[in-house]
């Protein structure tokens, strides 16, 4: 058995479709081919959008595809203390500040809106508030998120690189994302923080996931450096594309795996077809 560890980390906010099956198979097979371990993590950090019925559906879909995972399933909803601990450490480094802005504030305040890899870059409004103003807002119970002071964070750790086995060596450019949210108003932590902490906690050595998350790795690499966590190697694989040229999703007709299962399709045969590059009509790899 090798020490290689991969994971599949779906968010239970909807039913899995073909694109998820493809991602799960890739992560599973990288581990199995190396004699390593394949883990499952349920990214149910968003309490308002996650559903238990979707968690149950994930287990059923993976079993139907013939995929087995090793060890216990990690659920992000149980990980609040670990995320808080990381936030405390970043706060102690002086790298976090509370942000009271609403989405509408942010959209309206940017005189020259600046777009990063993840949409609008936060213009830094709350970073410029005085300590007195912040204390007053917090004392008044104003809801707030916590943002990373990106320039200070980047200056603290210096240039960073990471390895993608498909795309090659990458120079991290987390600054392109601006001051990302690490603790949300309505959730335990943001995606970036939770994924970084949990990949380290689960001992993931190889992150196998879709290429849509390639640039997000720059932020995760920065958090690893700040928190003294190991850096896995990455394999960002192509996404399945629907007949309309857009990423496969429910809205462009990607069938839910549950529908295929209920229609009597053979999940192992579907998995074999995906492995062999025989994609269902209309879908292609890009």
Nearest CA to 275 out of 10, 32, 15 is that of: 32
Site string for ligand GLU, 97-126 (x = CB under 6 A): ------------------------------
* Piece in contact with ligand GLU (CB under 6 A), picked from 5-13, 53-61, 111-119, 126-134: 5-13
- Which one, 7 or 261, has the nearer CB to ligand GLU? 7
Backbone angles phi, psi at 83, to 5 degrees: -70, -40
CB 178 within 8 A of CB 116: yes
64: left (phi over 0), alpha (psi -120 to 50) or beta: alpha
Tokens of 280: 């269902």
Using DSSP bridges, classify how beta strands 161-164 and 115-116 pair: parallel, antiparallel or unpaired. Answer: unpaired
Among 16, 99, 154, 195, binds ligand GLU (CB under 6 A): 195
- Which one, 76 or 225, has the nearer CB to ligand GLU? 76
Question: Least distance to ligand GLU from the beta carbon of 236, Å?
Answer: 10
10 interacts with ligand GLU by CB under 6 A: yes
Class of residue 209 by CB neighbours under 10 A (exposed 0-12, middle 13-18, buried 19+):
buried
* Piece in contact with ligand GLU (CB under 6 A), picked from 9-17, 56-64, 87-95, 168-176: 9-17
Among 17, 26, 147, 209, binds ligand GLU (CB under 6 A): 209
Site string for ligand GLU, 36-75 (x = CB under 6 A): -------x--------------------------------
* Residues 6 or more apart whose Cβ sits within 8 Å of residue 197: 79, 82, 83, 86, 189, 227, 229
- Which one, 196 or 274, has the nearer CB to ligand GLU? 196
Distances (CA, A) of 12 to 9, 29, 180, 224, 256: 9, 22, 23, 25, 13
* Piece in contact with ligand GLU (CB under 6 A), picked from 7-15, 79-87, 113-121, 275-283: 7-15
Can you give the binding site for ligand GLU, defined by CB under 6 A? 9-11, 43, 195, 209, 213
């Amino acid at each position: 058995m090798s020490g290689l560890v991969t994971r599949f980390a779906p968010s239970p906010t909807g039913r899995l479709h073909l694109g998820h099956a493809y991602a799960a198979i890739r992560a599973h097979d990288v581990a199995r081919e190396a004699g390593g371990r394949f883990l499952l993590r349920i990214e149910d950090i968003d309490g308002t959008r996650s559903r238990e019925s979707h968690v149950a559906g994930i287990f059923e879909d993976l079993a139907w595809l013939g995929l087995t995972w090793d060890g216990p399933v990690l659920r992000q909803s149980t990980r609040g203390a670990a995320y808080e601990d990381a936030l405390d450490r970043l706060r102690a480094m002086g790298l976090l500040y509370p942000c009271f802005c609403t989405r509408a504030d942010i959209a309206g305040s940017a005189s020259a809106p600046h777009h990063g890899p993840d949409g609008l870059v936060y213009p830094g409004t709350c970073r410029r508030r005085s300590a007195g103003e912040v204390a007053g807002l917090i004392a008044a119970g104003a809801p707030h998120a916590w943002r990373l002071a990106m320039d200070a964070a980047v200056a603290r750790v210096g240039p960073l690189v990471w390895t993608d086995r498909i795309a090659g060596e990458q120079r991290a450019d987390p600054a392109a994302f601006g001051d990302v949210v690490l603790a949300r108003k309505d959730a335990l932590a943001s995606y970036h923080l939770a994924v970084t902490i949990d990949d380290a906690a689960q001992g993931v050595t190889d992150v196998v996931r879709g290429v849509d998350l390639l640039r997000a790795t720059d932020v995760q690499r920065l958090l690893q450096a700040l928190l003294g966590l190991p850096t896995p190697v990455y394999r960002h694989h192509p996404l399945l594309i629907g007949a309309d040229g857009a990423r496969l999703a429910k809205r462009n007709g990607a069938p839910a795996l549950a529908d295929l299962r209920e229609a009597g399709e053979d999940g192992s045969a579907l998995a074999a077809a995906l492995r062999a590059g025989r994609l269902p009509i209309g879908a292609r790899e890009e």
